Amino acid sequence: MVWVGKHSVALLDTRTRELCVEGAVRAGKTTVCLWRELNACLAHPGIYGLLARWTDTGVYGLVLPIWRRICEEAGVALKWHPDEEFDELPNGSRMYVRGLKSQDATLRYSKFRGLTLSRVYVDQAEEVPQDVYLELAARLSQPGFPHQITISPQSVANDHWIAKEFPEDNRFLPHRRLLQLSVYDNAHNLSDEVIPALKRLYPPEHPQHRTLLLGLRGLNVIGEPVYKGAFVRAIHETTAEYDPRLRLEIGLDFGKHHPCLLWRQVSALGQVRFLGGILGQQLYLDDFLDVCQRYQAEWFPNPIEQVLCCDPAGAADTSHGTEGAVVSLRKRGLKPVFVEGANSPAVRLAMVERIASLMRKRSADRQEALVVSNSERWLRVSEQATLVDRFLADGFEAGYVWDQHMVSVGSKQMRKPRKDGWYEHGQNVAEYFECNFGSAPPVKEPPKRERRPPSQMGRQAWMS
């Protein structure tokens, strides 16, 4: 194996106490991490480490064979101690091998409690519960040796515990560090046909292309994309500038502590421009609106007119406080509009059809009829961090998928988009835009004529 780029960084990082090497399939995560463990064992005679996975089958069937092959390639002889389940190296270093899952729930940590360790490596850590990981990290206590725990999960969703412990902005450095690997980072170690085969299996429009090939975080979505064949990212994600001479349309989905707000404009020639958006992560509505209003003042100042549409469920929803969410908006001086029944399966499907139709059309100036801004005005905001997250384009491309279950409407079976708790929020706002404002540029009403009193000189006048 040849280690360059991010792999060499992972191989040489021996100081970070908690290291997450996360990424795509065939990215070389397991191999580079096991080489790291061997290097540590050779550099520090007498050090104790642990190779782990969630199940015994996983660690003995997958991790242990790779570990022993690496040791054989390095010319390191191992002696197996079956009673205590560890490999002993000639210099006295030990590498324990354990599945972490206990069959007895009352003895949840029994598989590794009692071990005094300097190093821990957990393969496929996305399978491991957070409390087990924290307990493992507390095992790093062997005196006289450097301490480090390394995990190598496949790319996780943004609400997974690993994403919270190892955020993408690496704000917990120098104690915790995240390294993300794509399959392209390991291309020099793969045969020529591997990556083309993966691209055929998971093309860019496939919902798992993002996680399995690019190694980026996102839902491990399974299903057929709603806008498959209609949204082409290379075409539809482009420059979309704000024009203060056009009406600014604002759409809000209240969510359940995952509120979402989008801004869009419709040009005079009929081009629908999604200018930006903010997705809240575990935020209350009032806190989220404060953030949105601050960014709106910065990104879209002084529009000639602005209108707001929202989720009709918010009219009666009290999950954000003692009053409906729409009442909260009105107290802020906002005047939201909404269409009753906009969340019904029939209406939602009709809006999906209209949006898909836009994606396949051109506006009067021969530009795409629907575009999504490629700027950095797409944010995911939580109490801990604010990150760029192109959630709307991701959803259009692959994240928003059809539910495997149909819904009955008027005794007819009708398909519906899946409620995934993530991509759905931005997509629902796009549907509220269509339902409330449509895709045509707003038409100004002609000025009302002043009504004059009827002439008093006609046949019906009193003087006739």
Q: Tell me the DSSP string of 358-424.
A: HHT-B-TTSSBSEEEE-SS-EEEE-SS-EEE--HHHHIIIIISBB-SS-EEETTEEE--B---SSHH
Write down the pLDDT at residue 401: 92
The amino acid that residue 30 corresponds to is T
Average pLDDT value over all residues in the chain? 89
Dihedral sign computed on CA atoms, order 393, 399, 404, 406: negative
Same domain for 135 and 241? no
Q: Is the pLDDT of residue 245 over 50?
A: yes
The residue written with tokens 């995911």 in the block is 380
From its phi and psi, is residue 58 left (phi > 0), alpha (psi between -120 and 50) or beta?
alpha
Q: Are strands 412-414 and 378-381 parallel, antiparallel or unpaired?
A: unpaired
Q: Is the pLDDT of residue 318 over 80?
A: no
Q: Has residue 96 been placed in a domain?
A: yes
87 vs 96: CA distance, rounded Å: 6
Write down the pLDDT at residue 443: 53
Write down the pLDDT at residue 322: 39
Residue 266: φ, ψ to 5°: -120, 120
- Residue percentage of the chain with pLDDT more than 70: 92
Q: Has residue 224 been placed in a domain?
A: no
Going by pLDDT thresholds of 50, 70 and 90, the confidence category of residue 454 is low
Q: Has residue 34 been placed in a domain?
A: yes
Same domain for 414 and 304? yes
Same domain for 145 and 269? no
CATH number at residue 316: 3.30.420.280
397 vs 224: CA distance, rounded Å: 11
The number of folded domains in the chain is 2
Write down the pLDDT at residue 464: 40
> Which tokens belong to 276?
């930006």
Residue 414: φ, ψ to 5°: -135, 135
Per-residue pLDDT tens digits for 255-266: 877 899 999 999
CB 144 within 8 A of CB 134: no
| Buried b or exposed e, range 117-144, using 16+ CB within 10 angstroms | bbbbbbbbbbbbeeebbeebbebbebee
Same domain for 170 and 291? no
**How many Å separate Cα 446 from the centre of its chain?**
45
Residue 143 to residues 46, 84, 360, 391, Cα–Cα distance (Å): 11, 21, 65, 46
Going by pLDDT thresholds of 50, 70 and 90, the confidence category of residue 310 is very high
Same domain for 327 and 413? yes
Q: Is the pLDDT of residue 129 over 50?
A: yes
Listed in sequence order, the DSSP H helices in 44-121 are 56-58, 64-73
Same domain for 198 and 312? no
Q: Has residue 460 been placed in a domain?
A: no
Q: Has residue 449 been placed in a domain?
A: no
Same domain for 204 and 250? no
Which pTM was predicted? 0.73
Same domain for 161 and 270? no
**How many Å separate Cα 251 from the centre of its chain?**
20
Write down the pLDDT at residue 229: 87
Same domain for 245 and 190? no
From its phi and psi, is residue 26 left (phi > 0), alpha (psi between -120 and 50) or beta?
left
Per-residue pLDDT tens digits for 175-188: 999 999 999 999 99
**How many Å separate Cα 25 from the centre of its chain?**
18
CB atoms under 10 Å from CB of 423, counted, come to: 28
pLDDT mean over 66-75? 96
Dihedral sign computed on CA atoms, order 416, 421, 427, 429: positive
Same domain for 259 and 201? no
Q: Is the pLDDT of residue 462 over 50?
A: no
CB 270 within 8 A of CB 440: yes
214 vs 191: CA distance, rounded Å: 18
Q: Is the pLDDT of residue 221 over 90?
A: no
Q: Has residue 453 been placed in a domain?
A: no
**How many Å separate Cα 84 from the centre of its chain?**
41
Question: Which SS3 state, helix, strand or coil, does residue 107 take?
Answer: helix
> Which tokens belong to 392?
């709307």
- DSSP code at position 453: P
Q: Is the pLDDT of residue 394 over 80?
A: yes
Q: How many helices (H) and strands (E) does the chain have?
A: 14, 19
Domain that holds residue 421: 233-437
Same domain for 107 and 237? no
pLDDT mean over 141-159? 93
Going by pLDDT thresholds of 50, 70 and 90, the confidence category of residue 240 is very high
CATH number at residue 171: 3.40.50.300
- DSSP code at position 62: I
Same domain for 339 and 274? yes
Dihedral sign computed on CA atoms, order 272, 277, 282, 287: negative
pLDDT mean over 86-108? 93
The residue written with tokens 């450097």 in the block is 146
- CA atoms in the 13 A half-sphere facing the CB of 231: 30
pLDDT mean over 204-215? 86
Write down the pLDDT at residue 4: 80
Per-residue pLDDT tens digits for 4-58: 888 888 888 888 999 999 999 999 999 999 999 999 999 999 999 999 999 999 9
pLDDT mean over 62-66? 96
92 vs 216: CA distance, rounded Å: 39
Q: Has residue 458 been placed in a domain?
A: no
CB 259 within 8 A of CB 285: yes
Cα Rg of the chain, angstroms: 29
309 vs 264: CA distance, rounded Å: 12
Residue 252: φ, ψ to 5°: -130, 130
Q: For the chain, how long is the longest CA-to-CA vector?
A: 125
Question: Which SS3 state, helix, strand or coil, does residue 152 take?
Answer: strand
Q: Is the pLDDT of residue 269 over 70?
A: yes
Q: Has residue 111 been placed in a domain?
A: yes
